[in-house]
Amino acid sequence: MKKIAIFASGTGSNFERLADDQKIAQVAKITKLVCDKPNAPVIAKAQQRGIEVFAFNPKDYPSKADFEQAILEQVEDCDLVVLAGYMRVVSPYFLQHFKQPIINLHPSLLPAYKGKDAIERAFAAGEQEMGVSVHFVNEELDGGEVIAQAKLQRKTFENLPALTDRIHQLEHQLLPQVVYQLLTQ
Protein backbone atom coordinates (compact mmCIF):
# COMPACT_ATOMS: atom_id res chain seq x y z
CA MET A 1 0.00 0.00 0.00
CA LYS A 2 1.35 3.40 -0.96
CA LYS A 3 0.97 6.36 1.37
CA ILE A 4 -0.45 9.73 0.38
CA ALA A 5 -0.30 13.04 2.23
CA ILE A 6 -2.81 15.72 1.29
CA PHE A 7 -2.19 19.39 2.00
CA ALA A 8 -5.26 21.63 2.20
CA SER A 9 -6.24 24.97 3.73
CA GLY A 10 -10.01 25.30 3.48
CA THR A 11 -13.22 23.47 2.72
CA GLY A 12 -11.66 20.25 1.58
CA SER A 13 -14.14 19.15 -1.07
CA ASN A 14 -11.24 17.78 -3.11
CA PHE A 15 -9.79 16.14 -0.02
CA GLU A 16 -13.14 14.43 0.48
CA ARG A 17 -13.21 13.11 -3.10
CA LEU A 18 -9.73 11.64 -2.71
CA ALA A 19 -10.46 10.15 0.69
CA ASP A 20 -13.68 8.51 -0.53
CA ASP A 21 -12.39 7.26 -3.89
CA GLN A 22 -12.78 3.50 -4.07
CA LYS A 23 -10.11 2.93 -6.71
CA ILE A 24 -7.48 4.91 -4.82
CA ALA A 25 -8.36 3.00 -1.65
CA GLN A 26 -7.38 -0.25 -3.37
CA VAL A 27 -3.80 0.90 -3.96
CA ALA A 28 -3.03 3.56 -1.34
CA LYS A 29 -3.86 4.94 2.03
CA ILE A 30 -4.19 8.61 2.84
CA THR A 31 -2.09 8.72 5.96
CA LYS A 32 -1.96 12.44 6.66
CA LEU A 33 -3.76 15.73 6.21
CA VAL A 34 -1.45 18.72 6.51
CA CYS A 35 -3.36 21.94 7.15
CA ASP A 36 -2.00 25.44 7.76
CA LYS A 37 -5.33 26.76 9.10
CA PRO A 38 -6.19 25.19 12.47
CA ASN A 39 -9.90 26.08 12.06
CA ALA A 40 -10.36 24.91 8.49
CA PRO A 41 -13.41 22.69 7.77
CA VAL A 42 -11.17 20.14 6.03
CA ILE A 43 -9.83 19.07 9.44
CA ALA A 44 -13.17 17.62 10.58
CA LYS A 45 -13.44 15.78 7.26
CA ALA A 46 -10.14 14.04 7.98
CA GLN A 47 -11.03 13.30 11.59
CA GLN A 48 -14.38 11.75 10.59
CA ARG A 49 -12.46 9.36 8.34
CA GLY A 50 -9.80 8.51 10.91
CA ILE A 51 -7.06 10.27 8.92
CA GLU A 52 -4.26 11.75 11.01
CA VAL A 53 -4.10 15.55 10.94
CA PHE A 54 -1.09 17.80 11.25
CA ALA A 55 -2.60 21.26 11.67
CA PHE A 56 -0.32 24.16 12.42
CA ASN A 57 -0.35 27.92 12.60
CA PRO A 58 2.59 29.30 10.62
CA LYS A 59 2.79 32.19 13.10
CA ASP A 60 3.81 29.74 15.82
CA TYR A 61 7.09 29.07 14.01
CA PRO A 62 10.04 31.46 13.77
CA SER A 63 10.32 30.99 10.00
CA LYS A 64 8.91 29.17 7.00
CA ALA A 65 11.89 26.82 7.07
CA ASP A 66 10.91 25.80 10.60
CA PHE A 67 7.33 24.85 9.82
CA GLU A 68 8.33 23.21 6.58
CA GLN A 69 10.84 21.11 8.50
CA ALA A 70 8.00 20.07 10.81
CA ILE A 71 5.87 19.13 7.79
CA LEU A 72 8.73 17.16 6.25
CA GLU A 73 9.01 15.08 9.39
CA GLN A 74 5.26 14.35 9.18
CA VAL A 75 5.31 13.20 5.56
CA GLU A 76 8.76 11.64 5.13
CA ASP A 77 7.34 8.13 4.64
CA CYS A 78 4.78 9.22 2.00
CA ASP A 79 4.99 8.25 -1.67
CA LEU A 80 3.01 11.21 -2.96
CA VAL A 81 2.01 14.67 -1.75
CA VAL A 82 -1.17 16.18 -3.17
CA LEU A 83 -1.78 19.90 -2.77
CA ALA A 84 -5.56 20.18 -2.89
CA GLY A 85 -6.46 23.76 -2.09
CA TYR A 86 -3.29 24.42 -0.10
CA MET A 87 -3.02 28.19 -0.21
CA ARG A 88 0.69 28.40 0.39
CA VAL A 89 3.75 28.18 -1.82
CA VAL A 90 5.95 25.19 -1.10
CA SER A 91 9.53 26.40 -0.75
CA PRO A 92 12.59 25.23 -2.69
CA TYR A 93 13.82 23.83 0.64
CA PHE A 94 10.81 21.52 0.82
CA LEU A 95 11.13 20.52 -2.83
CA GLN A 96 14.79 19.61 -2.35
CA HIS A 97 14.15 17.51 0.71
CA PHE A 98 10.96 15.67 -0.24
CA LYS A 99 12.07 13.20 -2.88
CA GLN A 100 8.70 11.87 -4.03
CA PRO A 101 6.30 13.59 -6.46
CA ILE A 102 4.29 16.59 -5.32
CA ILE A 103 1.26 17.53 -7.41
CA ASN A 104 -1.09 20.48 -7.30
CA LEU A 105 -4.63 21.16 -8.46
CA HIS A 106 -5.26 24.54 -10.09
CA PRO A 107 -8.56 25.93 -11.42
CA SER A 108 -7.37 27.14 -14.81
CA LEU A 109 -6.03 25.78 -18.06
CA LEU A 110 -2.36 26.34 -17.22
CA PRO A 111 -0.20 28.08 -18.24
CA ALA A 112 -3.06 30.61 -18.32
CA TYR A 113 -4.13 32.25 -15.05
CA LYS A 114 -1.46 31.10 -12.63
CA GLY A 115 -1.85 32.27 -9.03
CA LYS A 116 -4.83 33.42 -7.01
CA ASP A 117 -8.43 34.04 -8.14
CA ALA A 118 -7.87 32.16 -11.39
CA ILE A 119 -11.57 31.49 -12.05
CA GLU A 120 -12.56 35.10 -11.38
CA ARG A 121 -9.82 36.45 -13.65
CA ALA A 122 -10.65 34.07 -16.51
CA PHE A 123 -14.33 34.95 -16.15
CA ALA A 124 -13.63 38.69 -16.14
CA ALA A 125 -11.47 38.32 -19.25
CA GLY A 126 -14.42 36.74 -21.07
CA GLU A 127 -12.74 33.39 -21.68
CA GLN A 128 -15.09 30.96 -23.41
CA GLU A 129 -13.04 27.87 -22.72
CA MET A 130 -12.06 27.31 -19.11
CA GLY A 131 -10.98 24.37 -17.01
CA VAL A 132 -8.67 22.83 -14.43
CA SER A 133 -5.14 21.45 -14.36
CA VAL A 134 -3.19 18.98 -12.28
CA HIS A 135 0.56 19.55 -12.45
CA PHE A 136 3.81 18.58 -10.84
CA VAL A 137 5.04 21.17 -8.37
CA ASN A 138 8.34 22.87 -9.04
CA GLU A 139 9.88 26.11 -7.84
CA GLU A 140 7.67 28.29 -10.03
CA LEU A 141 4.15 29.03 -8.76
CA ASP A 142 1.70 26.86 -10.76
CA GLY A 143 4.54 26.40 -13.25
CA GLY A 144 5.44 22.69 -13.14
CA GLU A 145 4.75 20.18 -15.89
CA VAL A 146 1.03 19.69 -16.53
CA ILE A 147 -0.12 16.09 -16.04
CA ALA A 148 -3.75 16.43 -17.08
CA GLN A 149 -6.43 19.02 -17.79
CA ALA A 150 -10.20 19.03 -18.09
CA LYS A 151 -12.08 21.70 -20.03
CA LEU A 152 -15.52 23.21 -20.23
CA GLN A 153 -17.22 25.77 -22.44
CA ARG A 154 -18.80 28.72 -20.76
CA LYS A 155 -22.54 28.88 -21.36
CA THR A 156 -24.23 32.01 -22.64
CA PHE A 157 -25.35 34.15 -19.68
CA GLU A 158 -23.69 31.78 -17.19
CA ASN A 159 -22.84 33.71 -14.05
CA LEU A 160 -19.69 33.39 -11.94
CA PRO A 161 -21.17 31.21 -9.14
CA ALA A 162 -22.63 28.71 -11.63
CA LEU A 163 -19.41 28.57 -13.59
CA THR A 164 -17.33 28.20 -10.41
CA ASP A 165 -19.53 25.32 -9.40
CA ARG A 166 -18.97 23.54 -12.71
CA ILE A 167 -15.19 24.13 -12.45
CA HIS A 168 -15.22 22.53 -9.01
CA GLN A 169 -17.08 19.53 -10.38
CA LEU A 170 -14.35 19.13 -12.99
CA GLU A 171 -11.73 19.23 -10.23
CA HIS A 172 -13.59 16.57 -8.29
CA GLN A 173 -13.46 14.26 -11.31
CA LEU A 174 -9.96 14.97 -12.53
CA LEU A 175 -7.90 14.93 -9.34
CA PRO A 176 -8.82 11.38 -8.19
CA GLN A 177 -8.24 10.09 -11.73
CA VAL A 178 -4.75 11.61 -11.86
CA VAL A 179 -3.83 10.41 -8.38
CA TYR A 180 -4.90 6.87 -9.25
CA GLN A 181 -2.97 7.01 -12.52
CA LEU A 182 0.22 8.19 -10.77
CA LEU A 183 -0.06 5.50 -8.12
CA THR A 184 -0.50 2.69 -10.59
CA GLN A 185 1.72 3.61 -13.53
Which residues sit at the interface with ligand GRF, rule CB under 6 A?
8, 10-15, 84-85, 105-107, 168, 171
Q: Whole-number minimum distance, CB 23 to ligand GRF, in Å?
A: 19
User: Is 106 marked active-site?
Assistant: yes
Q: Whole-number minimum distance, CB 104 to ligand GRF, in Å?
A: 8
Amino acid at 113: Y
Closer to ligand GRF at the Cβ: 12 or 131?
A: 12
Choice among 106, 135, 168, 172 that is catalytic: 106
Q: How far is CA 17 from the centre of its chain?
A: 11
> CB-based burial of residue 91 (10 Å sphere; 0-12 exposed, 13-18 middle, 19+ buried)?
middle
Q: Whole-number minimum distance, CB 63 to ligand GRF, in Å?
A: 24
Taking the C-alpha atoms of residue 142 and residue 135, their distance in angstroms, rounded to an integer, is 8
User: Which residues have a catalytic role annotated?
Assistant: 106
